A and B are shown apart, each in its own frame.
Chain A
Amino acid sequence: MAVLKVTDLHARYSAKGPEILKGISFEVEENDFFAIIGPSGAGKSTLIRCINRLVEPTSGSIVFDGQEVTTLRRVELRRLRRDIGMIFQEFNLVNRMSVMDNVLSGRLGYTSNLRTLFRAFPREDIDHALSLLDRVGLIDHVDKRADQLSGGQRQRVGIARALMQDPKLMLLDEPTSALDPKISREVMELIKEMAQELKVPCLCNIHDVKLATECCNKIIGLQDGVTMFSGLTGDMNEEKLGEIYAMEVL
């Protein structure tokens, strides 16, 4: 069964504004590493933010884990978001907070207000955070402030934070676009390995097509909010790529 099933999704930012997503449909299954590619401005970030409703879709259906997402009320929506980890292009860490607290913040959905106030996370959360930080290679930086780390290290904190949620799905919005090519590849490899270890399916925006074909088993190509290609990575060829990126070259 599909973990995530998106059907005929439409989105716009304001009633009078242009339609950004014009009827997108796809399915993410267990063990998928699903790439969304397309030129910038195609609507990749908008699409991925619709899945956990950081952006409200205008119509269409999103079924995650057997539950319709688009009609959830506020409390139910927060509950749902706990099951979806997210990693951002700009890392989105709190710079003036320690690496540990940044990672622990992935656990807020499970933590009471009182515990949050005193930053009193349960012991097992702290142990979990430590083991994740060890796994992503930051065990020596636990108490550093996030702004003392390099870009690659920061994204590793972002990965640990997302995995702290024990997610059933990961949303990745160009996780390596802010990094240089070498670090980019390392971080992407790490994400892929950990997703496999923890058996979490991933839905990943990528601008870099080469990276997408290397890492992902399925690809959907967007252009101007319209699906240009959808299928297995193996079926992707130069000609179809050319079509998707045609707009950008012009």
Chain B
Amino acid sequence: MSNRMAAFGGPGKKKLEWRRFRYPESLVSYAGWLIAFTVVVFSIEYLNIPLDRILGMLGRMGDILADRYYPPDIEYIMDMDYFGYVVETIQMAYLGALFGLIITIPIAWFASFNMTPSRRFVYPVARLFGMSCRAVHETIWAILFVSILGFGMLPGVLALTLFSAGFAAKLFAEEIERIDMGPVEAMRSTGANLFQIMLFGVWPQVRVAFTGIAIYTWDVAFRAATVVGFFGAGGMGWYLKRNVLQIETERVAAIILSIIVLVIISEALSAWARRAVMKMK
């Protein structure tokens, strides 16, 4: 034993030890990787995925696109009628995101483990609500509401509301769970009630994050809004469906192109806005 070690450990003291390999944790994790790898190999075998045919298919797809979908009928979408549907889509996304965000605030509060009014009852119910919103795909919500309410914007807005609420509530609840609990304790000690603590102790801490989540939500709601119309829930999706059914492939190409452009624009705007908000911190 060197002098240096003797000074700390001394004779008769337990020898200090540290190793990266832990038994059995490390073994379990190695086994996990092995199993994951084996599963991937077996699934490729089992599904009989023919990589050469996939590559060939890409080529054929290119041919078909060039043949039937080119050139896109741009003139068709440069039309006031279509523009009206675009505006309707934006309105639907806006309203859906707005209503979704409004119900997100209480849901996320109730579903945050640190601030929920009751961990035994309110917390699981709020979590379940958020999970159900996310579990059902937005197009299925659209189909559901169309079948209840008939065609139009209203079922679209409702579908997007649930979609946005499910999306935003999870992010926002996580944000609430990350706050500094010191100020919360301080306000509790002044005799403030839970509502006041949320307003004064929690909201200032999560306000910026909430704004970011709101912008993000609007962005994904817009993307979802472009398709719910396919099922009769209003917006450009309806236009798309009509032309698909009539096999107007060049018009379909133009519509898809316009959706792509709009989604890219909305995403760029939201990325820019979110960065601006984060700077405010």
Contacts and interface: CB of A to CB of B under 8 A. Distances in A.
B187 A105 contact: yes
Interface in A75-93: 78-82, 84-86, 88, 90-93
Contact of A97 (B192, B204, B208): B204
The CB with the most chain A CB atoms within 10 A, among B188, B191, B195, B197, is that of: B191
Given A94-B201, A94-B205, A96-B204, A86 B183 contact: no
A61 interface: no
Given A93-B183, A94-B183, A108-B187, A113 B200 contact: no
Contacts of A105: 186-187, 190, 192, 200-201
B203 to A, nearest CB: 9
Nearest to A82: B191
Contacts of B200: 94, 97, 101, 105, 108, 116
A167 to B, nearest CB: 9
A106 interface: yes
A81 B191 contact: yes
21 contacts: A78-B191, A78-B192, A79-B191, A80-B191, A81-B190, A82-B190, A82-B191, A88-B182, A88-B185, A92-B182, A94-B201, A96-B204, A96-B205, A96-B208, A108-B187, A108-B197, A108-B200, A111-B196, A116-B199, A161-B186, A165-B191
B interface residue count range (under 10 / 10 to 19 / 20 to 34 / 35 or more): 20 to 34
Contacts of A108: 187, 190-193, 196-197, 200
Interface string A100-112: 0100011111110
Contacts of A1: none
Contact of A54 (B189, B199, B204, B207): B189
Closest CB pairs A-B (n = 7): A109-B191, A108-B192, A92-B182, A82-B191, A81-B191, A92-B186, A86-B189
Interface string A11-40: 000000000000000000000000000000
Interface string B152-176: 0000000000000000000000000
Nearest to B281: A96
A85 B191 CA distance: 10
B188 A96 contact: no
By DSSP majority rule, is chain B's interface helix, strand, loop, or mixed? helix
A52 interface: yes
Contacts of B183: 92-94
Interface of A: 52, 54, 78-82, 84-86, 88, 90-97, 101, 105-111, 113, 116-117, 158, 161, 165, 171
A106 B196 contact: no
Given A94-B204, A97-B204, A117 B199 contact: yes
A82 B196 CA distance: 14
A108 B205 CA distance: 18
Contact of B193 (A84, A96, A113): A113
A86 B192 contact: no
The CB with the most chain B CB atoms within 10 A, among A91, A96, A101, A110, is that of: A96
Contacts of B204: 94, 96-97
A144 to B, nearest CB: 14
B247 to A, nearest CB: 57
B186 A78 contact: no
A224 to B, nearest CB: 24
A94 to B, nearest CB: 5
B72 to A, nearest CB: 49
B207 A113 contact: no
B280 to A, nearest CB: 10
Contacts of A94: 183, 200-201, 204-205
B117 to A, nearest CB: 11
B195 A88 contact: no
